[in-house]
Amino acid sequence: MTQPPIVTPEGFLAHWQGHRRLTRRATEAFPEDKLFTYTAAPPMRPFGVMAWEIHQVSELTLNGLLTGEWVEPDWRQGSSTDRAKLLSDWDGLSARLDAEFPNVDLNFFAQTHRLPWGEMTGWEAAIYTIDNEIHHRGQGYVYLRALGIEPPAFYER
């Protein structure tokens, strides 16, 4: 059974990194004093806290894809309110992703794995990570609009 792939590993990595670049721009678009304090709709979290969550889930997913171990992060460590630290960690993970994603065993995507939030295939885990990023970034776009700021173009990656 040799079907043409819906997406190649290179295409999947490009997809993921494109979203990471866009989320980085959204993070930068916030006024520094609003990133970790402002919410457009309580009890929703500030966008900076969501961005840390995205970072930690992405790191978990890359590690899981590489090692088969899905260790729930210590979410509290993600709550630094220093944007420079967030962006620096973000860029470090983007570099790791470029360097290490090509090492992922492709059999991993079809196999079922035990994540902190349940069993899913490697594909489901990887795409869920990106979906979660898109979901929260979309929320950040409303925050930006409510602050009178035009968000970065969604179609630019």
Residues near its own copies, by CB under 8 A: 2-9, 11-12, 15, 19, 40-44, 106-107, 109-110, 117, 121, 123-124, 126-128, 131-132, 134-139, 141-143, 145-146, 154-155
| Between 75 and 154, CB nearer to its own copies | 154
Residue 61: name the closest of 22, 14, 109, 9 by CA. Answer: 109
User: Using CA atoms, how far apart are residues 107 and 154, in angstroms rounded to an integer?
Assistant: 32
User: In angstroms, what is the minimal distance from the CB of 70 to its own copies?
Assistant: 15
User: In angstroms, what is the minimal distance from the CB of 61 to its own copies?
Assistant: 13
Q: Count CA atoms within 13 Å of residue 40 on its CB side.
A: 15
**Unique residue bearing structure tokens 């590690």:** 63
| Residue 65, token pair as written in the block | 């894809």
User: In angstroms, what is the minimal distance from the CB of 88 to its own copies?
Assistant: 26
| Between 70 and 123, CB nearer to its own copies | 123
Kindly report the length of the chain: 157
| Between 37 and 139, CB nearer to its own copies | 139
Residue 121: its H or E element:
strand 118-121
